[in-house]
Amino acid sequence: MSARERLQEEKKEMQRDRPFGFYARPKRKPDGSTDILFWECGVPGKPGSIWARPSGEGYKIDVKFSEDYPMKPPECKFNPPIFHPNIFPSGTVCLSILSEDKDWVPTITIKQVLFGIQELLDNPNLSDPAQADAYNMMKTDKAKYVEAVKKLAKAYT
């Protein structure tokens, strides 16, 4: 199965069984057609967590798939970037299931990736930091980190 065929199936699955607060859909090109290899997604903070947004809306993530998907993982990037120990300042997500060298397997779906990112928000992997400021703040002053995240969640657009 080609990357494009697999992504069409995943798109149908998300439409059939979309978890509350999440979304995942191919982006529209300027001509109005869709780009099956470039998706816009949303991941909500878990209810009651520091990442939960007052509006209930999710955090925007751009997901780029290659023609080698699912043999190679997609690239996931928060847009705009967020303050988190495992999110690079560029917005790119540092998560083991998104790394060919770590835990990526071709059976992982976009839905599983989005759930993994949601879990990462609340449970950063401090042994694999990607953003020094967020990592250092969480290690040295967790209350300040929590305050910064709550402020971001409230102001995020």
Q: What is the pLDDT of residues 44-53, one digit of tens each?
A: 999 999 999 9
Tens digits of per-residue pLDDT, 115-155? 999 999 999 999 999 999 999 999 999 999 999 999 999 99
**What's CA 152's distance to the chain center, in Å?**
16
Within 10 angstroms of residue 82's Cβ, the number of other Cβ atoms is 20
Task: With beta carbons less than 8 A apart as the criterion, state whether 37 and 74 touch.
Answer: no
Q: Which residues contact 72 (CB under 8 A, 6 or more apart)?
A: 66, 100, 104
Tens digits of per-residue pLDDT, 108-125? 999 999 999 999 999 999
The per-residue pLDDT for 157 is 72
Band of residue 54 on the pLDDT scale cut at 50, 70, 90: confident
User: Which amino acid belongs to residue 50?
Assistant: I
Distance CA 39, CA 84 (A): 22
Distance CA 129, CA 80 (A): 19
**Sheet holding 34-43: strands in order across?**
23-28, 34-43, 59-64, 75-78
Q: Does domain 3-155 have CATH number 1.10.3720.10?
A: no
Indicate which residues carry an active-site annotation: 94
Tens digits of per-residue pLDDT, 20-34? 999 999 999 999 999
Measure Cα distances from 5 to 10, 35, 79, 103 in Å: 9, 13, 26, 23
